[in-house]
Amino acid sequence: MDHDIKAIDWKTLASAGVRGVVLDKDNTITLPYSRTVYLPLVNSVRAALSAFGTDNVVVFSNSAGSADDVGFAEADSLSAMLGIPVLKHGGKKPDGADALKAHFGLPDASDDGLASYAMIGDRHLTDVVFGNANGMLTIKTELLSTENDNQVASIMRRYEAKYAAKLVADGLSAPDHPLANHPDIVTMLSTTPPPPKP
């Protein structure tokens, strides 16, 4: 899937066995550096919270909650603004699995503890790699906007897309995940959303 989160049926994910979702922030649920959910996505975010409950939805950012966020002040502020917990991980994706397991109350020693969670984000190198490396169902979304986008992230995103396309052309596919084979999830992820309204 390479659409925004409106294409995700949160109830379908939950009924298929997904226990919770991890949402990237910039260009997944907010415009770059915004502190509010992107208006066209508000209902989808509400639906995710309704399907999973606030305790099972978390924002995982490479800025708020990271090592750059002194005292996690930005994570606390952003969580209050978004109405969604922001993970305090003190690192950068693709690191942070231990903090995520702790957030969801999973044992540290659990190698497959995150297998029933979904990682959703717009970046291959951070979001998709993190999700796949930690056994999660991973859903890549499209970029919301290039306006105010981080210049390094913008350059990396283009490189990542070319490299991912090459890997697919060479026959490499995503790691097998049991939830990705669930018929309802297969249908949801392969359905093309309707064209945007004018």
Q: What is the CATH number of the domain that holds 169?
A: 3.40.50.1000
The rounded mean pLDDT for the chain is: 87
**Residue 119 in domain:** yes
**Residue 140 in domain:** yes
Q: Indicate the SS3 state at residue 20.
A: strand
- In the chain, the amino acid numbered 193 is P
**Residue 166 in domain:** yes
52 within 8 A of 11, measured Cβ to Cβ: no
**Residue 70 in domain:** yes
**Residue 26 in domain:** yes
- Which residue range forms the structural domain that includes residue 155? 5-190
**Residue 197 in domain:** no
58 within 8 A of 85, measured Cβ to Cβ: yes
The pTM score is 0.88
Cα 172 from Cα 167, distance rounded (Å): 5
Tens digit of each residue's pLDDT (9 = 90 or more) over 69-117 = 999 999 999 999 999 999 999 888 878 899 999 999 997 655 568 999 9
**Residue 95 in domain:** yes
Cα 132 from Cα 118, distance rounded (Å): 10
Cα 136 from Cα 114, distance rounded (Å): 6
Q: What is the pLDDT of residue 181?
A: 81
Q: How many domains does the chain have?
A: 1
Cα 197 from Cα 176, distance rounded (Å): 35
C-beta atoms surrounding 124 within 10 Å: 19
